[in-house]
Amino acid sequence: MCMKHENGNFKGSLLGIIGTVTLAGTVTATQKMWRSLQALGAIAFAYSFSIILIEIQDTIRSPPAEHKTMKKPTLFSIAVTTVFYMLCGAMGHAAFGDEAPGNLLTGFGFYNPYWLLDIANVAIGVHLVGAYQVFCQPSFAFIEKWSARKWAKSNFVTAEYDIPIPFFCIYQLNFFRLIWRTIFVILTTLISMLMPFFNDVVGILGAFGFWPLTVFFPIEMYISQKKIARWTSRWIGLQMISMTCLCISIVAAVGSFAGVVLDLKTYKPFKTSY
């Protein structure tokens, strides 16, 4: 991907897309502010790995302690994520300027070479299928445990049927689990197709999940574990970090909802913007 304009200069300006004509009309300074806040939500979403960090740690054998084993991978993943997203944001703007799209792969009408886009789309599919399963497991477990308690005498809900798989293992089939998970996947897929506001939705999810799950609870657990006294310098510093991230989450949520409102002006069901 070429990161410079053909005349050798970087494209874009400090004001960004203010004055640019889009499908929703001319971008104003207010809309630019909403888009910037929405971008904060998208960035926050990239750091929501803490939701599944504990789940991963539960699968690691000890000794050594799980948190010690995960310390280096966590630091490495944060560094790689930061570098990757900063490169996409900075270099994308340098290459395409005020017309930088939300989707660097297909959002600007560039579809060659096709094999590169195909590989990228396959990688995205593999990533999303795995991430979908991991992120949905807590919801699946909650509903299934609640249903098992509610209808404990129902064979449809509680019965497990062993199905041997040749040369592999025995699969335990539960009809309730099979049917309700299938319905859940179908409904979420239809909703995502019905509302193709990818960047806006990512911003909303990032805004709502970033502060409580990635910042607040880890900080509170750290304070409790280390028995940090109130109003000490360390306690005040941690609370300042927490409050700063809370403010970021709030403004990111506002910007993302404003983005949805703007996108609704040109909204067409089951149709993306590219």
Please write the tens of the pLDDT for every residue from 212-246. 878 888 888 888 988 888 889 999 999 999 998 88
pLDDT number for residue 5: 46
E strands present in the chain = 21-22, 25-26, 161-165, 169-173
User: Average pLDDT in the 263-272 region?
Assistant: 70
pLDDT at 101 over 50: yes
Q: What pLDDT score was predicted for residue 61?
A: 75
At residue 1, the pLDDT reads 38
Is pLDDT of 274 > 60? no
Supply the pLDDT for residue 217: 85
Model confidence at 7, in pLDDT bands (50, 70, 90)? Answer: very low
Cα separation, 36 vs 246, whole angstroms = 17
User: Do you find a cis peptide bond into 63, omega within 30 degrees of 0?
Assistant: yes
pLDDT of residue 243: 92
The yes-or-no verdict on residue 92 having pLDDT over 90 is no
